[in-house]
């Protein structure tokens, strides 16, 4: 491989990986005073070949390989890093709604007759919770105003008919002021506000009331 072939190879590397790489041949071309762009390039290449010290083909090949590896490392590196600084990570980036959990819960949980207002119960308001769910059978608790459960109501009846309100009505009796409650495994009729902490047999908890 002669000097002119090496110069042409370096020029091809410069054109393909033009990334802040300066070749001595370009400097030679800019200092040339020969008229005409094509003649100027040729004279620059000849001048570069004349002034370039002669080295073995293996040494030149190793230099070219090193240059190509350096250029490839630049291409594969994450770029540009300053853009990441324009969007810094921090608490203000991830926004959450203040009421993301949604709704409120009764504390303590009350049940009561049909004259007791439904809503979020507190120790002061004693409202009847209308968002009850049983943690034993995982059924929502149904309510029936001005009704009470017949004495023949039992677990098997609820197991087979919950949550069909029409079928459940066959075991309900009309009684003004009372309210009948039932899930798939428990039932109760009440008139006055009743704290569920006083009814340990009922595994009912308050779901979330929408604001």
With contact defined as beta carbons under 8 Å apart, do 182 and 119 qualify? no
Phi-psi category of residue 52: left, alpha or beta, with phi > 0 → left and psi -120 to 50 → alpha:
beta
Per-residue model confidence as pLDDT tens digits over 72-109: 555 444 444 444 444 444 444 333 333 334 578 899 99
Peptide bond preceding 113 in cis form (omega within 30 of 0)? no
DSSP code, position 160: H
The pLDDT value recorded for residue 11 is 75
Locate the domains of the chain by residue range: 110-206
Task: Taking each helix axis as running N to C, give the angle between helix 37-51 and helix 3-16, from 0 to 180 degrees, rounded to the nearest 10.
Answer: 120
The pLDDT value recorded for residue 41 is 57
Beta strands in 35-193 (DSSP E): 110-111, 132-134, 142-149, 172-182, 187-190
**Residue 132 burial (C-beta neighbours within 10 Å; 0-12, 13-18, 19+):** buried
| pLDDT tens, per residue, the chain with 211 residues | 556 667 777 777 666 665 544 444 454 455 544 445 555 555 555 555 545 555 566 666 677 766 766 665 554 444 444 444 444 444 443 333 333 345 788 999 999 999 999 999 999 999 999 999 999 999 999 999 999 999 999 999 999 999 999 999 999 999 999 999 999 999 999 999 999 999 999 999 998 765 5
3-class SS of residue 57: helix
């Amino acid at each position: 491989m002669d000097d002119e072939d090496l110069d042409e190879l370096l020029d091809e590397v410069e054109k393909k990986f033009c990334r802040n790489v300066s070749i001595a041949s370009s400097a030679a071309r800019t200092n040339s005073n020969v008229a005409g762009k094509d003649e100027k390039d040729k004279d620059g290449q000849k001048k570069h070949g004349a002034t370039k010290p002669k080295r073995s083909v293996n040494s030149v090949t190793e230099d070219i390989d090193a240059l190509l590896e350096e250029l490839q490392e630049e291409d594969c590196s994450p770029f540009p890093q300053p853009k990441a600084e324009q969007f810094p990570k921090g608490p203000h980036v991830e926004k959450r709604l203040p009421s993301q959990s949604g709704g409120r819960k009764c504390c303590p949980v009350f049940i009561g007759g049909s004259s007791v207002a439904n809503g979020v119960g507190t120790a002061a308001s004693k409202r009847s919770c209308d968002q009850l769910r049983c943690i034993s059978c995982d059924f929502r608790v149904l309510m029936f105003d001005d009704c009470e459960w017949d004495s023949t109501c039992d677990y098997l009846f609820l197991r087979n008919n919950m949550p069909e309100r029409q079928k459940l009505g066959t075991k309900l009796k009309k009684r003004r002021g009372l309210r009948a409650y039932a899930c798939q495994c428990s039932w109760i009729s009440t008139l006055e506000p009743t704290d569920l902490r006083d009814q340990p047999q009922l595994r009912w908890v308050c779901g979330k009331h929408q604001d």
